[in-house]
Amino acid sequence: MKTSVKSFVVLISCGLFACQPGKQIIQGETGDLNTNKMYLCEVVSDYWKSHRAVDSADVIDGKFMFELENVQPELYFLGDSPNHGGYFFLDGKRIKVQPENVTEEEIFWKVEGAFLDQKYRAFMEQWDEATFKQITDSLDALFFQARDAGNREEMARIKEESMHYYDEGRIRSDALVKEVLKKNKENSFGMYLYYYKQFQHKDFPTLEEITAEKAYVESFGAAAKNTRYLPWVMEKLGKYEGCAIGHEAPEIVGKDTLGNELKLSDLRGNYVLVDFWNSYCHWCREETPALKRALEHFAGKNFKILGVSSDRVKKLWMDAIHEDGSYWDHLMLEKGDDVMDRYCIKGIPHIILVGPDGKILAKELRGQDLIDVPDQFVK
């Protein structure tokens, strides 16, 4: 059979790609997308939908292509911008993608040639069902409307109605992750699953728990460990060590209500409830009555409260203090302060107890615990 020079070049090129173990090809079609450029992004957080563009490709006649070198299988984001697109598991030497459905919020990709992507998509379908995603998304939207309107009564009602779905969804999703993870500890999808769906939702308040987690991570297979997720896990566990119970509390520095510098270490010699909060956090301000009761209970003893606010507008911060009558030591963090990261705080309110020597005695205190736990130490 006679082969043209052009066909011969194409065949040789394809053969070269196939022979280069580190090279991966993503061939895509844009379908109805009206764009002249596509972006391939690393996923910083799929929960917060934050991505970092690592490559871009021009769209020519509705088609585009990425040529990648030595990219490990993991979750990526592909879109017509770093913020509008969809997820897929990059796994395979030659992957084909095209839009299956496009909305204002995201792009659902049809993916061929990626074995682990099939596992990822099957899991996500089960995940959405297990977590009552359609119901909770609707309830979340109603809650945010009530919050924007300042309707606390409606916020409380929606929260009460939502709790069953979140609590049951958490139980079901935890069981699902454990089941799927058992079958995938040897591959990178398993490490993705562990990092995003299990590790990031756990806390490690003690050194014993941190040590146990490190041992568990060691049980994963070589392919699973050969991803960016493993260094992220180990880095985070190192930070947990720095704020574990028994460790000296990392320093906190900010400006008090008069604009003077105030530090956590200024309160050495006292038992200190450190309350991480801000003025627009409803559940933070719901803890104020319990904090007041604690201050009254330990009156006359070496006991203090330090409010640590991530507010950015001083007036809103001050107004909240006066409205709630939370008259104890407060400081507002400077913009860009990484104290939340150093304390491994996933959400607020986050209240801890620090001893007179500056060491952390207890974490994640709420309600009556704000009295009962310090009672074990304060004399």
> Looking at the structure, do residues 232 and 343 belong to the same domain, yes or no?
no
> Looking at the structure, do residues 62 and 137 belong to the same domain, yes or no?
no
Backbone angles phi, psi at 233, to 5 degrees: -60, -50
Q: Which class for 317: exposed (0-12), middle (13-18), buried (19 or more C-beta within 10 A)?
A: buried
The H or E element containing residue 308 is strand 303-309
Alpha-carbon gap, residue 108 to 91, rounded angstroms: 17
> Looking at the structure, do residues 9 and 98 belong to the same domain, yes or no?
yes
The reply to whether 209 falls in a domain is yes
The reply to whether 31 falls in a domain is yes
Question: pLDDT class for 159, splitting at 50, 70, 90?
Answer: confident
pLDDT value, residue 38: 98
Alpha-carbon gap, residue 12 to 18, rounded angstroms: 10
Backbone angles phi, psi at 78, to 5 degrees: -125, 130
Alpha-carbon gap, residue 179 to 233, rounded angstroms: 21
The reply to whether 147 falls in a domain is yes
Alpha-carbon gap, residue 253 to 241, rounded angstroms: 20
Which of 242, 261, 276 is at the close of a domain?
242
Identify the three-state secondary structure at position 125: helix
Alpha-carbon gap, residue 236 to 199, rounded angstroms: 10
The reply to whether 120 falls in a domain is no
Which of 84, 112, 140 is at the close of a domain?
112
Dihedral angle computed from the Cα positions of residues 6, 7, 8 and 11, in that order, rounded to the nearest 10 degrees:
130
| Percent above pLDDT 70 for the chain | 94
The pTM of the full predicted model, rounded to 2 decimals, is 0.80
- How many C-alpha atoms does 130 have within 13 Å on its Cβ side? 16
> Looking at the structure, do residues 73 and 103 belong to the same domain, yes or no?
yes
The reply to whether 248 falls in a domain is no
pLDDT value, residue 140: 87
Q: Are the C-beta atoms of 332 and 255 separated by less than 8 Å?
A: yes
Q: Which CATH number goes with the domain that contains 269?
A: 3.40.30.10
Q: Are the C-beta atoms of 286 and 361 separated by less than 8 Å?
A: no
Using the structure block, give the residue that is written with the tokens 């109605």.
161
> Looking at the structure, do residues 370 and 275 belong to the same domain, yes or no?
yes
Alpha-carbon gap, residue 327 to 295, rounded angstroms: 10
> Looking at the structure, do residues 258 and 369 belong to the same domain, yes or no?
yes
Q: What is the pLDDT of residues 341-372, one digit of tens each?
A: 999 998 999 999 999 999 999 999 999 999 99
Structural domain for 148, as ranges: 127-242
- Chain centre distance of CA 79: 21
Question: pLDDT class for 6, splitting at 50, 70, 90?
Answer: very low
The reply to whether 320 falls in a domain is yes
Q: What is the pLDDT of residues 79-130, one digit of tens each?
A: 999 999 999 999 988 999 999 999 999 999 999 999 999 999 999 999 999 9
Alpha-carbon gap, residue 30 to 137, rounded angstroms: 28
> Looking at the structure, do residues 262 and 285 belong to the same domain, yes or no?
yes
The two three-digit tokens of residue 317, written as one number:
């911060």
> Looking at the structure, do residues 231 and 269 belong to the same domain, yes or no?
no
| Percent above pLDDT 90 for the chain | 80
> Looking at the structure, do residues 176 and 269 belong to the same domain, yes or no?
no
> Looking at the structure, do residues 267 and 357 belong to the same domain, yes or no?
yes
Question: pLDDT class for 49, splitting at 50, 70, 90?
Answer: confident
What domain count does the chain have? 3
The reply to whether 247 falls in a domain is no
Alpha-carbon gap, residue 6 to 13, rounded angstroms: 11
Backbone angles phi, psi at 71, to 5 degrees: -95, 125
The reply to whether 117 falls in a domain is no
Sequence-distant (≥ 6) Cβ neighbours of residue 186 within 8 angstroms = 220, 221, 223, 224
> Looking at the structure, do residues 162 and 224 belong to the same domain, yes or no?
yes
- pLDDT surpasses 60 at 4: no
Which of 219, 242, 265 is at the close of a domain?
242
Q: What is the pLDDT of residues 8-23, one digit of tens each?
A: 333 333 443 333 446 8
Alpha-carbon gap, residue 336 to 279, rounded angstroms: 18
Q: What is the pLDDT of residues 206-216, one digit of tens each?
A: 999 999 999 99
> Looking at the structure, do residues 358 and 259 belong to the same domain, yes or no?
yes
